[in-house]
Amino acid sequence: MTTIHVNLHIRRIILALSIIGAAGLSLPASAIDLSVTELFDPAIAVIPDIDGSGIMYQDFREGKYKFISRDLTATEEVIRDNGPAYMHPFDFGGNLLAWIEYKTTYGGMSKRGIDTPVPADGDYYVKVLEVSGGSETHATSDVGYKECIAADGIDVVWTDYRHYSASDTTIELYYYDGGSESRLTNQQGYKAAPMVRDNAMVWQDYRNATSNQSNADIFYATLPGVQEEEICTEGSYQAQPCLYGDIIVWQDYRNADGGDNADIYMYDRSSNDVTEVCTDASYQAHPKVYGDYIVWHDYRNVSGSDPENADIYLYEISTQDEQEVTTKAGYQAPPYLYGNNIVWYDYEDGKVYRAEIGGTSARQASWPSVGARRNAPQPDAIYDFRGRKLKRMRAKGLVLMKNPAGTVKRRLIREAQNLWNLE
């Protein structure tokens, strides 16, 4: 990797290391100033998705799951009461919250008190809600199997199985623009991990997975049109794309040689340049890009005494500088990035943290929390929107699952939004 350029900021950061060490957080000597702040203590492990209007997450309160919106001054608002069902997946962008909801034919929500199979005759709904007010909207009348959802502004995109059959493995992306839905892709193979921003989208595509079934590529398209661009069709596994303007980042296995060495790559559509953002000989995943910065989930500090030590790293595009955001022991969940704010959930102390790029001090005063996590009522078990019991995920590697017909195996991405996995 490119050598980190160190300048006079190092003196200020060194003076602050004692403060940071007391908090168990880590900032290296680097040209990029960061201030790290504890935000709040949720009752359960949360996915703190951040956008211009604040942070959106799903917590467990008063015996129910709830979508909660929180701005960066600690003001929070319950957006939706989800009852006994954990809505998974969901996404938040601009003023729009979107999720996939499952219901059985007898009308009950999917939460189960015991581990029972999910009924094959269940219905899947794509729900959309404006955070600032308004009623819920159905993005599609189709109730077939759906997964992987992305939202931004008025745009919602999801993975849809309505054209899938045992003889035709077409699994497509569909799009909702606030008024109607349309089919975005029309190619054989699995489409997943869509990400939408400013009327453009990227996704992971298996159309070229012939002899090499793990050959997933990265594609780009503008909305509402369907003119596609190949971003990366290198003959290995590419996943988890994210875009900002002309910059697209993704996880890349071209250097894996059959192992877990997943790296972070970047493509600039304006110059057609490909950049190796991080090729450290370990596992990197879940990159996010905004403005001049890229953040990701990094396992380079795993050890025998700390086998789940996942940290967060930052890369400045204009200077090619890389630095640590946190190297705290234990598992830090995949980060989200918006503007100069990075947020993530820390599994070791059960808190959500924010790192501000360009902060004026190494650590600001803690913001009010929503109560001590260890004393908060928590569910005995967590179930996803299909009623499946969930456990914490290590967010590493690929998982083979069968499609709903039970015939063809396919690879599923564990996206940044999916911090839980099936038991």
Domain ranges of the chain: 9-422
Query: In this structure, which amino acid lies at residue 70?
Result: R
Query: In this structure, which amino acid lies at residue 276?
Result: E
Mention every residue, 6+ apart, whose C-beta is less than 8 A from residue 151. Answer: 91, 92, 93, 94, 96, 97, 98, 128, 157, 196
Mean pLDDT of the chain: 79
Phi, psi for 109 (deg, rounded to 5): -70, 170
Distance CA 159, CA 127 (A): 14
Strands 389-392 and 420-422: antiparallel
**pLDDT the model gives residue 166:** 82
Structure tokens at 372: 């001590």
**pLDDT the model gives residue 58:** 96
Distance CA 251, CA 245 (A): 18
Q: Is the pLDDT of residue 225 over 90?
A: no
Q: How confident is the model over 136-149, as a mean pLDDT?
A: 95
Q: How confident is the model at residue 25 (pLDDT cuts 50, 70, 90)?
A: very low
Distance CA 46, CA 87 (A): 12
Q: Which residue has the tokens 């993005």?
A: 139
Count the Cβ atoms, other than its own, within 10 Å of residue 383: 22
**pLDDT the model gives residue 73:** 78
Q: Which helix (H) or strand (E) holds 205?
A: strand 200-205
Reported as a single tens digit per residue, the pLDDT across 255-297 is 998 888 999 999 999 999 999 999 999 999 999 999 999 999 9
166: three-class secondary structure by DSSP: coil
Closest CA to 186 of 226, 221, 156: 226
Closest CA to 358 of 97, 20, 30: 30
Distance CA 265, CA 36 (A): 26
What is the CATH architecture assignment of 9-422?
6 Propeller (2.120)
Q: Is the pLDDT of residue 91 over 80?
A: yes
Structure tokens at 147: 């997964």
Q: Is the pLDDT of residue 149 over 50?
A: yes
Reported as a single tens digit per residue, the pLDDT across 97-109 is 999 998 864 444 4
Higher confidence at residue 52 or residue 14? 52
Phi, psi for 16 (deg, rounded to 5): -95, -5
Phi, psi for 20 (deg, rounded to 5): -65, -40
**pLDDT the model gives residue 258:** 82
Contact call for residues 384 and 86 (beta carbons, < 8 A): yes
Distance CA 275, CA 249 (A): 9
Higher confidence at residue 377 or residue 182? 182
Structure tokens at 276: 């190796």
Q: Is the pLDDT of residue 220 over 70?
A: yes
Q: Is the pLDDT of residue 69 over 80?
A: yes
Contact call for residues 288 and 244 (beta carbons, < 8 A): no
